[in-house]
């Protein structure tokens, strides 16, 4: 009888925990706000849909298709693109992310080359790719895919020292 309150509280705790969805959309979005990203901001003889401010905003969309946006940096940085898959209907064969230096003087590409981007996602269902950029300014980012999926996308900008600290922590686990 002494453990009865504990036993009665256990189902309540389980029902509370079932409402928590670790790796969920809410956890991915956090406190950031949704950006429609449907403007036409001129950049590099092209246009971007929006300017994403680090960790303050995210966007949503669906593939197949392409998204273009601008990420500002204050100098050399690692720009991380994270895609949370809301739905996964088909991985496609061609997913590409292009990071441009300001004024598009250089670009860096990730190409899936037929790899399954869903299988390449982490256990939380987030596809993560990053690239070091070297110049201060507005970086055009293009994400395109022939996958069939709905997604949320956010970015993170890390200084080289922040990135190195993060890698040291990952390596030390």
For 111-140, the pLDDT digits (tens) are 999 999 999 999 999 999 999 999 999 999
Q: Is the pTM of this model over 0.95?
A: no
In a domain, 17, yes or no: no
Total domains present in the chain: 1
Average pLDDT over the chain, rounded to an integer: 87
By three-state DSSP, how is residue 75 classified? coil
- Structure confidence at residue 56 as a pLDDT band (50, 70, 90): confident
All residues at 6 or more sequence positions from 65 whose CB lies less than 8 Å from its CB, including other chains: 144, 145
Distance CA 31, CA 133 (A): 26
In a domain, 1, yes or no: no
Cβ atoms of 52 and 78 within 8 Å: the answer is no
In a domain, 11, yes or no: no
pLDDT of amino acid 171? 76
Find tokens 């390449």 and name the residue: 120
pLDDT of amino acid 53? 81
Is the pLDDT score of 144 beyond 70? yes
pLDDT of amino acid 131? 97
CATH of the domain at 93: 2.60.120.380
Section 73-77 average pLDDT: 95
DSSP string, 118-171: TTTS-TTSEEEEEEEE-SSEEEEEEEEEEEEEEEEEEEEEE-HHHHHHHHHHHH
Distance CA 155, CA 171 (A): 22
Distance CA 154, CA 16 (A): 28
> Domain range for residue 121?
23-171
């Amino acid at each position: 009888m002494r453990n009865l309150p504990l036993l009665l509280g256990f189902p309540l705790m389980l029902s509370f925990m079932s409402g928590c969805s670790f790796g969920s959309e809410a956890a991915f979005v956090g406190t950031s706000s949704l950006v429609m990203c449907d403007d036409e901001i001129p950049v590099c003889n092209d246009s971007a849909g929006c300017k994403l401010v680090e960790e303050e905003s995210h966007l949503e969309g669906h593939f197949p298709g392409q998204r273009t946006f601008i990420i500002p940096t204050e100098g050399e940085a690692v720009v991380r693109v994270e895609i949370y898959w809301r739905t996964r209907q088909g991985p496609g064969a061609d997913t590409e992310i292009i990071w441009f230096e300001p004024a598009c003087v250089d670009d860096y590409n990730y190409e899936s080359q037929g790899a399954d981007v869903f299988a390449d996602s982490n256990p939380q269902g987030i596809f993560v790719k990053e690239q070091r950029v070297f110049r201060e300014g507005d970086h055009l980012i293009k994400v395109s895919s022939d996958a069939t999926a709905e997604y949320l996308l956010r970015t993170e900008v890390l200084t080289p020292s922040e990135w190195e600290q993060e890698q040291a922590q990952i390596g030390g686990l």
